Chains A and B, each alone.
Chain A
Amino acid sequence: MKETPLSNCERRFLLRAIEEKKRLDGRQTYDYRNIRISFGTDYGCCIVELGKTRVLGQVSCELVSPKLNRATEGILFFNLELSQMAAPAFEPGRQSDLLVKLNRLMERCLRNSKCIDTESLCVVAGEKVWQIRVDLHLLNHDGNIIDAASIAAIVALCHFRRPDVSVQGDEVTLYTPEERDPVPLSIHHMPICVSFAFFQQGTYLLVDPNEREERVMDGLLVIAMNKHREICTIQSSGGIMLLKDQVLRCSKIAGVKVAEITELILKALENDQKVRKEGGKFGFAESIANQRITAFKMEKAPIDTSDVEEKAEEIIAEAEPPSEVVSTPVLWTPGTAQIGEGVENSWGDLEDSEKEDDEGGGDQAIILDGIKMDTGVEVSDIGSQDSEEEEMIILEPDKNPKKIRTQTTSAKQEKAPSKKPVKRRKKKRAAN
Chain B
Amino acid sequence: MEEETHTDAKIRAENGTGSSPRGPGCSLRHFACEQNLLSRPDGSASFLQGDTSVLAGVYGPAEVKVSKEIFNKATLEVILRPKIGLPGVAEKSRERLIRNTCEAVVLGTLHPRTSITVVLQVVSDAGSLLACCLNAACMALVDAGVPMRALFCGVACALDSDGTLVLDPTSKQEKLQQCLAAAQAASQHVFRFYRESLQRRYSKS
Contact = CB atoms under 8 A, between A and B. Distances in A.
Contacts of B117: 84
B32 A296 contact: yes
Interface of B: 6-10, 18, 23-41, 44, 46, 48, 51, 53, 55-57, 59, 62-63, 70-71, 79, 81, 83-85, 93, 96-97, 100-101, 103-104, 115, 117, 119, 121, 123-124, 126, 169, 173-174, 176-178, 180-182, 184-186, 189, 193, 196-197, 200-201
A54 B33 contact: no
Interface of A: 1-2, 40-42, 45, 47, 52, 54, 56, 58, 60, 81, 83-88, 133, 135, 137, 139-142, 283-285, 288, 292-309, 311-313, 315-316, 322, 325, 373, 375, 377-379, 382-385, 387-388, 409-411
Q: Is the interface of B mostly helix, strand, loop or mixed?
A: mixed
Max chain A C-beta neighbours (<10 A), residue from B123, B177, B184, B185: B177
Contact of A135 (B56, B83, B169): B83
Given A300-B18, A308-B181, A316-B174, A41 B51 contact: yes
Contact of A373 (B39, B93, B180): B93
B8 A375 contact: yes
B189 A81 contact: no
Q: Is the interface of A mostly helix, strand, loop or mixed?
A: loop
Contact of A41 (B55, B62, B126, B189): B126
A85 B185 contact: no
Max chain A C-beta neighbours (<10 A), residue from B62, B70, B180: B180
30 contacts: A40-B123, A40-B124, A45-B124, A54-B38, A56-B83, A83-B119, A85-B55, A88-B40, A133-B84, A137-B81, A139-B57, A140-B41, A283-B51, A285-B30, A285-B53, A288-B46, A293-B200, A293-B201, A296-B34, A298-B30, A301-B28, A303-B27, A303-B185, A304-B25, A305-B181, A311-B177, A312-B178, A322-B169, A375-B10, A377-B180
Nearest to B143: A294
Contacts of A139: 38, 55, 57, 121
A382 B100 CA distance: 10
A9 B170 CA distance: 69
Contacts of A42: 124
